[in-house]
């Protein structure tokens, strides 16, 4: 594992409860790299991401992410691990009864931020990064789907994480909005953060190429130099 490596899995098996969903997973991702996980719904992409942020235990094989060993991570260490990881969900998971500002301040306060001026400044910074500088007073239902996803990305950036894990971030968005979200995620990776994105939106892969791993029939395969047949993979 090199100094630049922030994610490493070696001969890992990914389980969802007692069900083996992926076997012999070998993955190494460096700082600032953008990586796709592709595959049909149910192929194990989300389970792999959940293993990386310690929502599912790694019981077979070895894994390390931002300095934490996944196979023996202690429960009390998991909140500290997750401060180094920003998570972007397909279904947003915003608090619908709170403004954009309150959604973001809730996360900061929950992770130990106390000074209101510093909280205000950090919220302003992340909203500017996602082009929502003047939407902090809005409720989630007053925003478009694309704007809500930008809030989710802003939330993921709050604690200045080393890694963004994005699970189908364009899955509920129209093609034009999806492209804007993809440009934003690539911009984030170019700033030095690692982005791992699970998707079955193969049109986006054509427009935004990056190293790609495929989850298929319980296997985890790097598409090193092969041509992806998108028509066969689409759902």
What are phi and psi for residue 127, nearest 5 degrees? -65, -35
Question: Are the C-beta atoms of 221 and 214 separated by less than 8 Å?
Answer: yes
Chunk the chain into consecutive blocks of 10 residues (it has 235) and report each block's average pLDDT, rounded to whole numbers. Answer: 84 92 95 93 92 94 95 93 90 91 95 94 95 94 93 94 94 87 92 92 83 93 56 40
> For the CA atoms of the chain, what is the radius of gyration?
18
Q: How many C-beta atoms surround the C-beta of residue 11 within 10 A?
A: 12
pLDDT value for 225: 46
Name the 3-class secondary structure at 88: strand
Question: Are the C-beta atoms of 212 and 18 separated by less than 8 Å?
Answer: no
Q: How many CA atoms lie within 13 A of 175 on its CB side?
A: 6
Dihedral of alpha carbons 42, 83, 7, 127, sign: positive
**Buried/exposed 101-133: b ≥16 CB within 10 Å, e otherwise:** bebbbebbeeeebeeeeebeebbeebbebbebe
**Buried/exposed 200-217: b ≥16 CB within 10 Å, e otherwise:** bbbebbeeeeeebbbbee
Distance (Å, rounded) from C-alpha 147 to C-alpha 127?
Answer: 11
Q: Angle at the Cα of 218 (from 212 to 197), degrees rounded to 5?
A: 30
Domain extents in the chain = 1-84+168-225, 87-160
- Write down the pTM of the prediction: 0.89
Name the 3-class secondary structure at 120: helix
Q: Which of 33, 26, 25 is nearest to 4 (CA)?
A: 33
Domain 1-84+168-225, CATH number (from 3.30.70.2190, 3.40.50.300, 3.90.226.10, 3.40.1280.10): 3.40.50.300
pLDDT value for 224: 53
Report CA-CA distances (Å) from 180 to 19, 30, 162, 169.
36, 24, 22, 11
């Amino acid at each position: 594992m090199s100094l630049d490596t922030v994610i490493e899995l070696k001969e890992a098996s990914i389980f969802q409860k007692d069900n083996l969903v992926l076997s012999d997973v070998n993955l190494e991702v460096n700082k600032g790299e953008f990586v796709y996980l592709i595959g049909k719904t149910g192929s194990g992409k989300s389970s792999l991401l959940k293993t990386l942020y310690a929502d599912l235990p790694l019981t077979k094989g070895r894994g390390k992410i931002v300095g934490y060993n996944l196979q023996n991570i202690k429960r009390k260490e998991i909140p500290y691990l997750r401060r180094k990881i920003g998570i972007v969900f397909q279904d947003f998971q915003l608090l619908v009864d709170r403004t954009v500002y309150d959604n973001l301040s809730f996360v900061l306060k929950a992770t130990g931020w106390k000074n209101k001026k510093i909280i205000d400044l950090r919220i302003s910074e992340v909203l500017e990064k996602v082009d929502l500088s003047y939407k902090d007073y809005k409720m989630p239902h007053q925003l478009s789907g694309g704007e809500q996803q930008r809030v989710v990305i802003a939330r993921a950036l709050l604690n200045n994480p080393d890694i963004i894990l994005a699970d189908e971030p364009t899955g509920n968005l129209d093609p034009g909005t999806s492209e804007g979200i993809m440009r934003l995620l690539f911009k984030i990776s170019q700033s030095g953060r690692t982005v791992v994105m699970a998707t079955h939106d193969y049109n986006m892969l054509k427009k935004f190429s990056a190293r790609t791993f495929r989850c298929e029939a319980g296997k985890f395969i790097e598409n090193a130099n092969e041509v992806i047949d998108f028509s066969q993979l689409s759902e």
